[in-house]
């Protein structure tokens, strides 16, 4: 076994069980992120490829951007109230 790895293991053994679990959580999260970025890196296309496969048009106003997902008959207050309602229901579950 690598001496630096053994040193890390020996140091980790001196931590409390809670600290050891936190260390495992941090290492696990770092490994997941590292794996995620490696997987995503080979899937990402360059900007020109994205434009060629899914052309987009420029958005000139906020109204144009919102037109695809914001129902015209609903006010901003209606949307906010809906979001609050969903959050309250999520807390109950």
Tell me: the pLDDT tens digits for 10-53? 898 998 989 988 988 988 888 887 776 666 655 666 667 777 77
Quote the pLDDT of residue 14: 92
The boundaries of the domain holding residue 9 are 1-56
How many domains, in total, are found in the chain? Answer: 2
DSSP state of 54: S
Distance of CA 26 to the CA centre of its chain: 16
Which of the pair, 33 or 3, is modelled with greater confidence? 3
The number of helices, as runs of H, and strands, as runs of E, in the chain is 5, 0
Q: How far apart are CA 26 and CA 18, in angstroms?
A: 12
Residues 12 and 37 grouped into a single domain: yes
Residues 50 and 5 grouped into a single domain: yes
DSSP state of 68: T
Residues 5 and 47 grouped into a single domain: yes
The chain-wide mean pLDDT, for the chain, equals 79
Q: How far apart are CA 73 and CA 30, in angstroms?
A: 45
Residues 19 and 61 grouped into a single domain: no
């Amino acid at each position: 076994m690598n001496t630096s790895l053994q040193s890390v293991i020996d140091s980790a053994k001196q931590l409390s069980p809670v600290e050891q679990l936190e260390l495992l959580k941090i290492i696990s999260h770092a490994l997941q992120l590292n794996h995620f970025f490696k997987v995503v890196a080979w899937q990402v296309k360059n900007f020109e490829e994205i434009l060629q496969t899914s052309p987009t048009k420029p958005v000139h106003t906020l109204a144009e951007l919102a037109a695809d997902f914001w129902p015209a008959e609903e006010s901003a207050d209606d949307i906010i109230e809906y979001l609050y309602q969903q959050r309250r229901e999520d807390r109950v579950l």
